[in-house]
Amino acid sequence: MPSSFAIEIDIDPVIVQLGPVALRWYSVAIMLGVIVGTALAARLATRRGIAPDHVYSAALWVVIAGIVGARLAHVLDRFDYYRASPGRILALYEGGLAIWGGLVAGALAGWVYARRTGLSFWRLADASTCGVLLGLAIGRVGSIVNGDVAGKVTSGFGFIYTNPNVAGLLPKPDYFNTPTQPYALYELLWDLAVFGVLLWLAPRLTLDGTLFLCGVALYSIGRFVLSFLRAEEPFLFGLQQAQVFALVAMVVAVYLYLYLRGRRGRLQRSESSPRPTPAGA
């Protein structure tokens, strides 16, 4: 159904084509998000006693692991499609990065790096959280151009993708030239909102790991709610893959916060308890 509130997006996802090599808006947005997010994380790391060089070194492994994890989660979510077209598994330029897979794999890579270098993982995670959220927001600009995460057909405000080179990237063929929910825009705005909240909370949270866990919980809430705007296949209990991951992430974040808070309480009690007087003193 036509919408008077729809914005037409007639942008070729390819910026320039040089033989078999193409520079795409999606790739540029992802790279820019990584660069800006890493630079911000390095700047914020000094406030938590971590040298910026550690952030840059960790970022290499986190980004590689994140891309692999994000692609793997996407392929598993649409396994039937990629089983029939295995050659498209490596076609990252088409979009198809499941952010939850990237966040989990990236966090594991950061944990391994922290363990190997003797850093506090929780401090490293806190220092990186704002940068990650800002990077995710920038990356969603590429998704707006690509249309790969377009939402359901709508009669209200939406995006209309009209460039023929986008048709094969849309989640469903009938989304072409049809108003769809601007899911990527909504997630971009949510990421920026969470980013702002975390910047405000950063100097106010003193327990290592709390800022990171707040970021996980807030991002998860947004992903769970916004995913109702997408027409993805059910993954578990009628929920989409992203929604299941969001629920699990929220539960884990709450559990880890209670664990860290309880551990700090035990340490404080241990330090404040009187020590026994040595015999014969």
CA distance 59 to 261: 28
User: Do the domain assignments include residue 279?
Assistant: no
Q: How far is CA 122 from CA 29, 45, 207, in A?
A: 28, 12, 9
How many domains is the chain partitioned into structurally?
Answer: 1
What is the pLDDT at residue 128?
94
Percent residues over pLDDT 70 in the chain: 89
Secondary structure element (H or E) that encloses residue 244, with its range: helix 241-272
Residues contacting 37, CB < 8 A, separation 6+? 131, 132, 133, 134, 135, 136, 138
Q: Kindly state the DSSP code that residue 5 receives in the 8-state scheme.
A: T
As a dihedral over the C-alpha atoms of residue 128, residue 95, residue 98, residue 155, rounded to 10 degrees, the angle is 110
What is the pLDDT at residue 93?
59
Q: Residue 100 in contact with residue 242, Cβ under 8 Å? A: yes
User: Do the domain assignments include residue 84?
Assistant: yes
Q: Cβ–Cβ contacts within 10 Å for residue 45, how many?
A: 24
Interval 60-116: pLDDT, tens = 999 899 888 888 877 876 767 777 777 767 766 555 667 778 888 999 999 999 999
User: Do the domain assignments include residue 211?
Assistant: yes
Cα angle 78, 84, 85 (rounded to 5 degrees) comes to 85
CA distance 97 to 100: 9
User: Do the domain assignments include residue 175?
Assistant: yes
CA distance 224 to 99: 13
CA distance 212 to 45: 13
pTM for the whole thing? 0.86
User: Do the domain assignments include residue 43?
Assistant: yes
CA 222 to chain centre: 11
Residue 21 banded pLDDT, cuts 50, 70, 90 = confident
Mean pLDDT in residue range 207-233 = 94
Structural domain containing residue 61: 14-270
Interval 143-193: pLDDT, tens = 999 998 999 999 989 999 999 999 988 989 999 999 999 999 999 999 999
* DSSP secondary structure string for all residues of 61-125: HHHHHHHHHHHHHHHHHTHHHHHH-GGGTT-GGG----HHHHHHHHHHHHHHHHHHHT--HHHHH
User: Do the domain assignments include residue 2?
Assistant: no
User: Do the domain assignments include residue 7?
Assistant: no
As a dihedral over the C-alpha atoms of residue 78, residue 85, residue 159, residue 143, rounded to 10 degrees, the angle is 80
User: Do the domain assignments include residue 278?
Assistant: no
